[in-house]
């Protein structure tokens, strides 16, 4: 029974992204959504990387290394993740920051690749936590859900331009929810508490490098070129609030 609940919690964590997607669907001004989603994505991914992924990677790798060695190892694995997206970027459709619509879609797709690996790890970790304690797993689920709402808003805001693109948004979010399920099933099949796994620390370190690439070369340039100052401020504030909520749990 615990295993089924743990798998359910892992899937529910991903489904929170659909909440963020629906929020964007209810909005009207697409241009302002673009500026809002860029600012939101910048603060959410920055917070996710520095406050969640990096410290967790260090903690996991400290089971094998001392702290300085863990940091050095994370740096090397981050370069792998960074290089992976850099190479992949060459095969993605051309984009530039003067073509806002095309560039935002590019950012969304590149971001989703990094988040796919992150969500697999997330599903593994949530499964293991829930099997150990359903109560703790539920609290962890709520914390993950908070930042997944923001991520859902970010990705949908970058893709959603008109009613015909709703299907595309559903597919992208569904792709990430699937990653949560895959992570839970990996934990279930191997019957291991992956929150203590060295391999988990490696995957998180690579994911951190991917997020650094996205922040530096995708989000920051778009943020600078956005003219809607009010929407940028609102995006940063809402993103910060949602991510700070994750620290309470």
List pLDDT tens digits, range 69-103. 999 999 999 999 899 878 876 765 544 444 455 56
DSSP letters spanning 40-67:
HHHHHHHHIIIIIIHHHHHHHHTTTS-H
Q: How confident is the model at residue 12 (pLDDT cuts 50, 70, 90)?
A: very high
Q: What number of other Cβ atoms are within 10 A of residue 6's Cβ?
A: 22
120-150 CB burial, b ≥16 within 10 A, e <16: bbbbbbbbbbbbeeeeebeebbebbbbbbbb
Reading the block at residue 212, the tokens are: 């650094």
What integer pLDDT is reported at residue 72 of this predicted model? 94
State percent of the chain over pLDDT 70: 82
What integer pLDDT is reported at residue 94 of this predicted model? 47
Reading the block at residue 17, the tokens are: 């992204």
Lowest mean pLDDT among 29-33, 42-46, 68-72, 201-205: 29-33
Average pLDDT over residues 140-158: 76
Instruction: For residue range 131-143, list pLDDT tens digits in order.
Output: 767 876 786 787 6
209-227 CB burial, b ≥16 within 10 A, e <16: bbbbbbbebbbeebbeebe
What integer pLDDT is reported at residue 117 of this predicted model? 83
What span, in angstroms and rounded, lies between the C-alpha atoms of 87 and 140?
34
Answer whether residue 192 shows pLDDT above 60: no
What integer pLDDT is reported at residue 74 of this predicted model? 94
DSSP letters spanning 117-158:
HHHHHHHHHHHHHHHH-HHHHHHHHHHHHHHHHHHHHHHHHH
Q: Domain ranges for the chain, please list them.
A: 2-247
Q: What number of other Cβ atoms are within 10 A of residue 2's Cβ?
A: 13
Instruction: For residue range 224-240, list pLDDT tens digits in order.
Output: 887 788 888 998 998 88
Instruction: For residue range 195-219, list pLDDT tens digits in order.
Output: 457 877 887 788 888 888 878 887 7
């Amino acid at each position: 029974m615990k295993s089924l609940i743990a798998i359910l919690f892992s899937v529910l964590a991903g489904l929170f992204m659909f909440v963020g997607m629906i929020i964007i669907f209810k909005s009207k001004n697409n241009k302002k959504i673009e500026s809002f989603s860029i600012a939101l994505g910048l603060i959410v991914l920055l917070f996710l990387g520095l406050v969640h992924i990096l410290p967790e990677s260090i903690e996991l790798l400290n089971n094998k290394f001392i702290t300085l060695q863990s940091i050095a190892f994370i740096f090397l694995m981050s370069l792998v993740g960074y290089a992976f997206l850099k190479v992949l970027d060459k095969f993605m459709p051309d984009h530039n920051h003067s073509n806002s619509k095309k560039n935002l879609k590019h950012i969304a797709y590149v971001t989703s690749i990094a988040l796919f690996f992150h969500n697999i790890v997330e599903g593994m970790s949530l499964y293991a936590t829930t099997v150990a304690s359903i109560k703790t797993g539920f609290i962890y689920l709520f914390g993950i859900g908070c930042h997944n709402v923001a991520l859902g808003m970010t990705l949908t805001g970058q893709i959603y331009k008109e009613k015909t693109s709703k299907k595309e948004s559903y597919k992208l979010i569904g792709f990430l929810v699937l990653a949560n399920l895959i992570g839970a099933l990996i934990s279930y099949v191997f019957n291991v508490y992956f929150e203590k796994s060295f391999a988990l620390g490696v995957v998180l370190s690579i994911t951190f490098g991917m997020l650094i690439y996205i922040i530096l070369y995708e989000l920051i340039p778009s943020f600078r070129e956005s003219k809607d100052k009010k929407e940028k401020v609102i995006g940063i504030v809402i993103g910060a609030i949602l991510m700070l909520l994750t620290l309470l749990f």
